[in-house]
Amino acid sequence: MPENRPIRRALISCSNKLGLADFASGLIACGVEIYSTGGTRQHLLELGIEAIDVAEYTGFPEMMDGRVKTLHPKIFGGILGRRDNVDDLNSMQDEKILGIELVVVNLYPFEATIAKKDVTRDEAIEQIDIGGPSLIRAAAKNHHWVTVATRPEQYGAILTCIEETGTTTLAMRRKLAGEAFNLTCSYDSAISNYFRSESSSNELPPQILMRLERSAQLRYGENPHQKAALYSFPKSHAASIVSSRQIHGKELSYNNLLDLDSALSIARCFAQPAAVVIKHNNPCGSATATKLHVAARNALDGDSISAFGSVLSFNRTVDIETAEVLCEPDRFIEAIAAPDFEAGAVGVLTTKPKWRDNVRLMQTGPILPPDPEHTVRFISGGALVQEADVLPAFHSRWKTVTATAVEDALWEDIDFAWEMVRHVKSNAIVLARDTSLVGVGAGQMSRVDSVEIAIRKAGERAVGSVLASDAFFPFPDSIHAAAEAGIVAIVQPGGSRKDAEAIDACNEYGLPMVFTGARHFKH
């Protein structure tokens, strides 16, 4: 086992100088000699903190606008030299290499740079750190003897340990080394993703590098016996539940987060004011209208029993009228996500209903239409990656296949139903009327069962509604059930070997049917 040898020399080179002055001053007070470079050394000197110039020690000047300054054997030998290896120690003595026991380095702000509007490629390239990752990896590799600090949050514990014992423990060095390798891995991942984003290829990449940062510990997962945490993609600027600000209510649960994410993904698909009600990760209500409070009422009435204990999302600021609808008797809402909440609406939601103390209010900021992206689902031994199902409705490819044409007044409901069915678990059937969900059949092994459930949920509201199916009808029996329930139009992908039988069944009832040529399975 290595000894916990005294820390006598520290190399400090930091882009982020937060907390650096206090840390460096503390090291000086402990008798630690500081070596530094360029801007970092100048920062320390201006604060009256003595730091030896790395160029003075190596005898090699900083050059190429700072691209080359620490890449020198006298630096890396001092970090990588094994203190229990005779050959290493002889080499250090022969080449007059001083041992460096503490490396304090953070990296050029590459991700912050590429996140700026109109940043040029040259500007991005200049923020790719070379020396920093090399120093961090060297120190982390030799953590038996060297301590590596990569974040200001680590400074306090390191300094306390040095003040008390003159060094750090092996356990601390191991922990810091692991965090260091996480940092360099994440940094390289961000650079790799940047270069991949510049590619015009439509091919899925041969490798996907994901960087996730824990943003919250959750009380538990889907069930109390499962540990869980929330992780975020760093530097993500799109409105999301992960990046939203909680302005009221108790802690979000794992299931709340799943449901809110589903609700938000649906709400952002609509241009008109929209309300979405989610229960167990399926929409049980959704509506659009010219006024948000009308959409809210229609969405909640879509399946009022299932809506009890649901989560909601809106694509507009929640106003007082909408809040009043949400607080009507016999309603219970777990969480609400919206771009913003009027002050009066917050007052209503947090003082009026019985559930006022518990409801979570999540402010997402402006919600934009979805951008094409990939979805990743982990399975045992790997992951499935696909393009997101954001295919727009290409009306030019749709075809009315029945003798009866679709009435003009029904097209708005057909569009709404076709948008909604993509968000329901397969086998998926939705009934819509007046751009509101009135019946949903989700996640059944048989499409016939989904049709029956959707019709039963809708009850009398099925009369005059349109039906959307996420995939083709393999048999005409569901057509018969739809016609008997009073459904007035059907939209489905088509493509079954028995399409002719489904068309004949529709013609028997004078029921118009549209083929879209696109399927919307959601497993």
Residue positions annotated with a catalytic role: 141, 280
Cβ-defined contacts of 282-286 (< 8 Å, 24+): 282/424, 282/425, 282/440, 282/442, 282/443, 283/420, 283/423, 283/424, 283/437, 283/440, 284/310, 284/437, 284/440, 285/310, 285/436, 285/437, 286/420, 286/436, 286/437
Sequential DSSP letters for 10-25: EEEE-S--TTHHHHHH
Q: Determine the Cα angle at 293 with ends 289 and 294, to 5°.
A: 40
Kindly give the pairing relationship between strand 274-279 and strand 310-314: antiparallel
What is d(CA 50, CA 291) in angstroms, rounded to the nearest whole number?
65
Q: Write phi, then psi, for 107 (nearest 5 degrees).
A: -105, 160
Residue whose structure tokens are 């903190």: 49
Q: Choose among 271, 340, 328: nearest CA to 296.
A: 328
Instruction: Classify the C-alpha dihedral 501-502-505-511 as positive or negative.
Output: negative
Cis check: omega of the bond before 427, within 30 degrees of 0 = yes
What is d(CA 273, CA 260) in angstroms, rounded to the nearest whole number?
17
8-state DSSP, 414: H
What is d(CA 246, CA 270) in angstroms, rounded to the nearest whole number?
24
From residue 38, give the alpha-carbon distance in Å to each of 35, 42, 410.
11, 6, 69
8-state DSSP, 308: T
Instruction: Classify the C-alpha dihedral 279-222-218-213 as positive or negative.
Output: negative
What is d(CA 328, CA 465) in angstroms, rounded to the nearest whole number?
26
What is d(CA 321, CA 410) in angstroms, rounded to the nearest whole number?
29
What is d(CA 442, CA 125) in angstroms, rounded to the nearest whole number?
49
If one counts every other C-beta atom within 10 angstroms of the C-beta of residue 83, the result is 16
Instruction: Classify the C-alpha dihedral 393-397-401-405 as positive or negative.
Output: positive
416: amino acid identity, one letter: F
